[in-house]
Structure 1
């Protein structure tokens, strides 16, 4: 587990009462279209085995999957929202224009909830939770993420709602607005440019939570 932080906190910004290992402090955010509905069902199969009390927001990126989700997964703690940006139901080739459009919409959703003071764990639907991920969200950090290559994986990242994460995601979106691209490289580029913002702590590697 890669942890990303801005180390300069005021005492009022993070106190002992902010127990971010508690799932109730978080909302899981996923996006899915019709082509990936079976991936979501697999994600849900493993997630429900953990019996976690946590809010889940699922953003449906086309009308077909929106109807399926509403019919099958409407229940307490699960909110199903129709995307106000994307309407793509078909499978997409990696790095195609449509794929980049879908990927670039994800920080829009993340930013919306961070601005509402909601801590967000964004996860792609092709992940599998084998155990509770929230117990690893310890320390005075703004973000926790799966590491990938020499950076972080945008497909599994937890954002504590703060002025720093809001600014980061806003700047991430600015990069994406300048050139249509996959979201992950732009996120890593932004993290690397913010002076004294990011440091990488790999001392506490979590066991495999994802397959």
Structure 2
């Protein structure tokens, strides 16, 4: 027969096992509770971060929720533009054109006045809107005026800031219209891709309003030089003039930044496409992008787009 001591020991062991099981169950429940709390907190933090990001006025921009249906741009690419209140309708038309061509990249719009900033944030596009540090005019800008030069000459600084963060940058004026996805045309082997504004036999002029900058060492060096040259020029020249001077020098010397001039029948200047005679002689041309330039004034640009059925605002 078991002694009272043996019975006591068995009872103790049984109680110990029961207690251990209870502690284990409690510990498991406690860990599950901690895990649940962690998941909830993570979700809350992500929500807070998301809201902060959506309300952020700082670069870099967020990724689009719209999935492109054709060739995607590289993941670290930003489409950049600047605008003001006078050009908000052209900006909206530009955004509609991108939406309709089957690609929606990361898009950052820099507003050069507060009214434009507030209006852009209310637009129903998945874009990142930021307010310029030094505000410009909200009025209509006329080509080659001092205010116009101050406005456009800020663009290189914005481009450089993104390149420094490792982003490839497609700078696009808001008076362009995207018909197709342009990204497949930016092949490897070049640092900069630019639209031609004027073609031989006339002197070639490259456009600063549609340029793809790859985040290479040569591109960074080039853009820094571009900014420096604009700053030291006694006579304030538009960014495009200085850009052409530097690119032509690089192409002539065959060193430094590697520049690809985009096919002018695919990336078409306003000098050609909005000319009825030119279009009748070139019916085969199916542009990827057309630029509503070579004309001065907001209203004329709008009428041009409407005339050829490329005005998407009702």
TM-score tier, shorter chain, comes to: 0.7 to 0.9
Q: Give distance in 2, aligned partners of 1:55 and 1:24.
A: 10
Higher relative contact order (CA 8 A, sep 6+): 1
**1:143 paired to 2:192:** yes
**1:35 paired to 2:86:** yes
- How far residue 109 of structure 1 moved from its aligned partner, in angstroms, is 0.4
Q: Give the number of the structure whose alpha-carbon radius of gyration is greater.
A: 2
- How far residue 93 of structure 1 moved from its aligned partner, in angstroms, is 2.1
TM-score, reference length from structure 1: 0.82
Deviates more, 1:147-156 or 1:115-124: 147-156
SS in 2 for 1:132: coil
Q: Give distance in 2, aligned partners of 1:162 and 1:109.
A: 16
Equivalence for 1:116:
165
Q: Give distance in 2, aligned partners of 1:203 and 1:112.
A: 24
Q: How many positions carry a matched residue from both structures?
A: 189
- How far residue 53 of structure 1 moved from its aligned partner, in angstroms, is 3.7
Cα displacement string for residues 36-55 of structure 1 (whole angstroms, at most 9, x for unaligned residues): 11110110111111231410
Kindly indicate whether the alpha-carbon contact (under 8 Å) linking 1:192 and 1:198 is maintained by their aligned counterparts in 2. no
- How far residue 188 of structure 1 moved from its aligned partner, in angstroms, is 1.0
Change (3 A) 1:51 1:165: same
Equivalence for 1:5:
none
1:48-197 superposed matches below 5 A: 48-73=99-124, 75=126, 78-149=127-198, 150-179=204-233, 180-194=236-250, 195=253, 196-197=255-256
Cα displacement string for residues 56-113 of structure 1 (whole angstroms, at most 9, x for unaligned residues): 00000000100000111463xx210101133210012211110000010010100000
Gaps of at least 5 residues in structure 2 are 1-70, 199-203, 267-286, 291-314
Gaps of at least 5 residues in structure 1 are 1-20
Change (3 A) 1:88 1:203: closer
TM-score, reference length from structure 2: 0.56
